[in-house]
Amino acid sequence: MTTEDAAQAAPELRPEVLAYYERGEEDGRLDRGANRLEELRTRDLLLRLLPPAPARVLDVGGGSGRYAGWLAGLGYRVELLDPVPLHVEQARRRPGVTARVGDARALDVPDASVDAVLLLGPLYHLTERPDRVRALAEARRVVRPGGPVVAATINRFAGLHDTLYKENYFDPARRPHVDAVTVDGHLRPSAEQPGFTTAYFHQPGEVPGEFEAAGLAATGQYGVEGAAWLMGGLDAWLADEGRRATVLHAMRLTETDPALLGVSGHLLTAGRRPEPLG
């Protein structure tokens, strides 16, 4: 797809996904509990997966710009795209961040024009595989040859683990909804079920195939929160500087172990646009 085609064919965001994010809760999401660990660990991984500043980073589905703002502060040149106007407005307030409305499946960005692409959110709201492959193929098109694409997915059993940990799973009315996601990965919200919006929860082993189908060479997979997000002392550990560093050290030790990838709430998969042969 050319840049012009992409701008013309911009697909629509599902209305319930837009309505969910228009509630305005995304900006503060990463401040608490397991989400705080998600942010600390995602930062830790990005520092190792991205080229050094002042590389040009495209943050697709960047939300209110938590990562974009942090990267800009480190000297990266960051452009953020998100289909939710509220997020774009919030991201624009962050120093050094350029933000505009856009969709992962049709990027209005020239070919091979950025050094790295982040997709930390779009893949789990694109519930059909062809849409996810299209988003990854767009990332491949706009990143320079050899440049990294890093994508987040939610793991298949994240909902089960989270609701069991928070004890909502003991409520018989809520359990069938959670169980259904474990079967096919599709989270279908209903009026009776509070929580997250329409999403697809991957098995870790599915993601490299989606990268390859988009012409990206998958280079690694990393559990974001590891098993630590399910541990009772987490909030207190993260509030203590020394213990926080120790938790991050422990999660680095297990982050790529295939047997533990699916225990994490989120997974990062990294890939590269292949260099031309010869």
Ligand X SMILES: C[S@@+](CC[C@H](N)C(=O)[O-])C[C@H]1O[C@@H](n2cnc3c(N)ncnc32)[C@H](O)[C@@H]1O
Q: Which residues bind to ligand X, rule: CB under 6 A?
A: 13, 17, 21, 26, 30, 60-63, 66, 82-84, 87, 103-105, 120-122, 125-126
**Beta-strand relationship, 266-272 and 217-223:** antiparallel
**3 state DSSP class of 201:** strand
Under 8 Å between Cβ of 76 and 54: yes
Give the nearer residue to ligand X in terms of CB position, either 77 or 175. 77
Q: Classify residue 31 by burial, with Cβ atoms within 10 Å: 0-12, 13-18, 19+.
A: exposed
What is the smallest separation between the CB atom of 216 and ligand X, expressed in angstroms?
17
Long-range contacts for 40-45 (Cβ within 8 Å, ≥24 apart)?
40/238, 40/244, 40/248, 41/224, 41/225, 41/226, 41/248, 41/251, 42/67, 42/120, 42/152, 42/224, 42/266, 42/268, 43/67, 43/70, 44/248, 44/252, 45/150, 45/222, 45/224, 45/255, 45/268
Give the nearer residue to ligand X in terms of CB position, either 197 or 254. 197
Give the nearer residue to ligand X in terms of CB position, either 103 or 115. 103
Q: What is the Cα–Cα distance from 47 to 43, expressed in whole angstroms? A: 6
What is the smallest separation between the CB atom of 179 and ligand X, expressed in angstroms?
23
Give the nearer residue to ligand X in terms of CB position, either 84 or 117. 84
Give the nearer residue to ligand X in terms of CB position, either 55 or 117. 117
What is the smallest separation between the CB atom of 201 and ligand X, expressed in angstroms?
13
Give the nearer residue to ligand X in terms of CB position, either 100 or 275. 100
